[in-house]
Amino acid sequence: MTKLERKPPWLKVPLPKGDNYTEIKSSLREKGLYTVCEEAACPNLSECWAAKTATVMILGGTCTRACKFCNVKTGNPKKWLDLEEPKKTAEMAKIMGLNYMVVTSVDRDDLDDFGASHFAKVVERIRKDSPRTKVEVLIPDFDGEPDHMHTLAKSEPFVIAQNVETVKRLTYPVRDRRAGYEKSLDCLAFYKSHYPHITTKTSLMVGLGETWDELLEAMDDIRKAKVDIITFGQYLRPTQRHLKVERYYKPEEFEELKRIAYQKGFKFVASGPLVRSSYKAADYLKFLNDQGISV
């Protein structure tokens, strides 16, 4: 394969700036709080913060899995937990005046319940201390254990998201062997089956070598699990040791993926070169309000 060209112009965005950004960042630093938006150098940070939306990562910064697309440190946290995290996260929501907060985490296979109860405590504390903030959780699979999934869902997040990440054929080597295409689909189906009032969501990266037909097949599989929301974004290589970008999709191709996804029955779709799992997550809330649906 010929060497891929440099990033196309539609993937270039300005650095975060503005009074709102500076003020919020200063307030968070004073409390020792950090968002995933900053840690991941997300290109959409200013836009999301201006819309009172942010993403926080809990359960530490060391993941027990080693997916080939992710730049998070891999290792064994040895059951370490920050017991103040529920309080700190709720405090972040209040400091930032968030309308919408996405709570995500690393995988924690070292914990007895894979982090499910800690996740639930975070959600419950945010809902208690900042009731106006809608909480979306972007969660690990908790090894597909029903008891652990019930623990998370009973905390009543507004949206439960778990990413399929890529098409079935490319699941390995893209994802860690302990994760899986069918495993994620089964988890998503579980939440919708047992908690039908909670919106479910997943995400697919493109540019890893998948075919168009494989993307369509993945959409069909995801709809069979009755997932409500799907997002599509361009895979970008974090470092030279990660998987190569095989192709950059054009903006019009993302628009076509969105059109097809709506045609297949998804309630809400976000699709674009810079879209990430949590990018403009609050747009779903706006969509519901525009539809006259009270939440």
In tens, the pLDDT along 147-166 reads 999 999 999 999 999 999 99
Secondary structure, 3-state, 4-66:
CCCCCHHHCCCCCCCHHHHHHHHHHHHCCCCCHHHHCCCCCHHHHHHCCEEEEEECCCEECCC
Return d(Cα 96, Cα 282) in angstroms, integer. 15
More confident call, 272 vs 287? 272
pLDDT tens digit sequence for 7-56: 888 777 665 555 566 666 676 666 665 566 665 556 666 666 666 778 88
pTM for the model stands at 0.90
Residue 52 CA: distances (Å) to CA of 45, 102, 257, 282: 11, 11, 27, 9
Going along the chain from its start, the domains and CATH numbers come out as: 12-290 (3.20.20.70)
Q: How far is CA 156 from the centre of its chain?
A: 17
Beta carbons within 10 angstroms of residue 133's beta carbon: 22
The token pair that represents 91 in the structure block: 């405090």
CB 265 within 8 A of CB 256: no
| pLDDT per residue as tens digits for the range 170-215 | 999 999 999 999 999 999 999 999 999 999 999 999 999 999 999 9
Distance from C-alpha of 113 to C-alpha of 286, rounded to nearest angstrom? 34
